[in-house]
Amino acid sequence: MSIIKSTSYNIHIGNGCFDALNAFLKKSKCSGYFIICDENSFSHCLPTLLFHVPLLNDAEIIELESGEDKKTLETCLQVWGALTDTGADKKSLIINLGGGVISDLGGFVASTFKRGIDFINIPTTLLSMVDASVGGKTGVDFEGIKNHIGTTYEPKGIFVNPGFLETLSERQIRNGYAEIIKIALIADFMFWKKLTKLKSAAEFSSELVIKRAIELKNDIVKKDLRERNIRKSLNFGHSIGHALESALLEQKKDILHGEAIAAGMLMEGAIGLSLQTISSKEFKMLSNYINSIYTKIKISKDTEKLLMNYIIHDKKNEGSELCFALPKGIGTFELVCGIEPLLVKKTLENYQQL
């Protein structure tokens, strides 16, 4: 098992993570345990967790419907109500067992219930292992805008069991892999070079790849928990990607977060090429690899209009200025503000050719 030290907690990765969780629970002396999961993690992951961590056999189970469209304040009301009805108090522990939606929403619920109670993350998807569960960002979507309401509130521990990934489809593995590509592009050129040699879902989700992606994100978070500076680099691909995801979800179209982020990295990479933060050779490397893994998304004129509206409301903007985190070469980043909406619109129109 690998242990990564974060700001105030540890991230446990590998076969020994359940032993670490047992030790954590025995030491923490909580008044009660409340496991938040969805129907997928309830069926595929909860039995494994309860088998290896018998202290949780008496935990209250709060099962939610899966899906980004359920990451709302309405769902939070349900969870707050369940916690209240089952007697949760200030010394209770929330255990988020699931993917990115569960990590984000469960952390937000914990940060606000009785002005904040403890929680831990047990991520069950590649996306949540390498991104959503790490870093203390919590939140829900509001009026279709991704993570518009939220807090920065860190877990007491993260316990990563790569074995949970065996239950995932190849599409879900690719969903999480987009965040691994992103962290390599803005933080580690040598890691990026290694990733370009990977072709299969099994390679994308190996424990070594997961560990390195978590290390890179954790290093950035430790330097800038409140996202004043370097943590903004983690938004590469997300200004357009989040907007695209929101627009397609509003239109009731099938889209996963990582698929939208892959498209966002392509388009924001092209904007970087236009602004000369990245060379044509580097952009070709980026686009060739992303296009080898992800299918292009069809963006209709109606989707494009919605997308531009979401970009204007992106929380990373400063006043009326559009601000994007762009790769500065490969392996570093640059925050660029004042990007012209017309350049974004042209990039959207040229997306299929990128």
3-state DSSP percent of the chain in helix, strand and coil, to 5: 55, 20, 25
| Coil, strand or helix at 301 | helix
φ/ψ region of 160 (left if φ > 0, alpha if ψ in -120 to 50, else beta) reads beta
d(CA 118, CA 255): 32
Tell me which amino acid residue 156 is.
K
| Residue of 12, 146, 212, 231 marked active site | 231
DSSP state of 130: I
CB atoms within 10 A of CB 28: 14
The active-site residue, picked from 212, 217, 218, 268, is 217
> Among residues 146, 257, 268, 282, which one is catalytic?
257
**227 belongs to the catalytic site:** yes
Instruction: State the Cα–Cα distance between residues 300 and 173, nearest whole angstrom.
Output: 27
Of 121, 174, 238, 334, the active-site residue reads 238
Q: State the catalytic residue, choosing from 154, 179, 259, 334.
A: 179
| Catalytic (active site) residue 257 | yes
Instruction: Tell me if residue 238 is catalytic.
Output: yes
32 within 8 A of 87, measured Cβ to Cβ? yes
Query: Which residue is it, tokens 């990026």?
Result: 192
* Strands (DSSP E) found in 6-56: 10-13, 32-38
Q: Catalytic residue among 182, 232, 235, 334, which?
A: 235
Which among 311, 318, 313 is positioned nearest to 335, based on CA atoms? 318
251: how many CB neighbours lie within 10 A of its CB? 12
User: Which of 29, 115, 252, 281 is flagged as catalytic?
Assistant: 115
The residue annotated as part of the active site, out of 68, 154, 215, 227, is 227
Between the two ends of the chain, the Cα-to-Cα distance in Å is 41
**Catalytic residue chosen out of the listed positions 218, 242, 245, 268:** 242
- What CA–CA distance (Å, rounded) separates 10 from 251? 40
Length of the chain: 354
Sole residue written with tokens 């966002």? 264
CA 314 to chain centre: 16
Q: In what helix (H) or strand (E) does residue 109 lie, and over which residues does it extend? A: helix 100-112
Q: Annotated catalytic, 171?
A: no
Active-site pick, 12, 71, 137, 232? 137
Cβ count within 10 A of residue 271:
22
Task: Give the residue numbers annotated as catalytic, written as ranges.
Answer: 115, 137, 179, 217, 227, 231, 235, 238, 242, 257
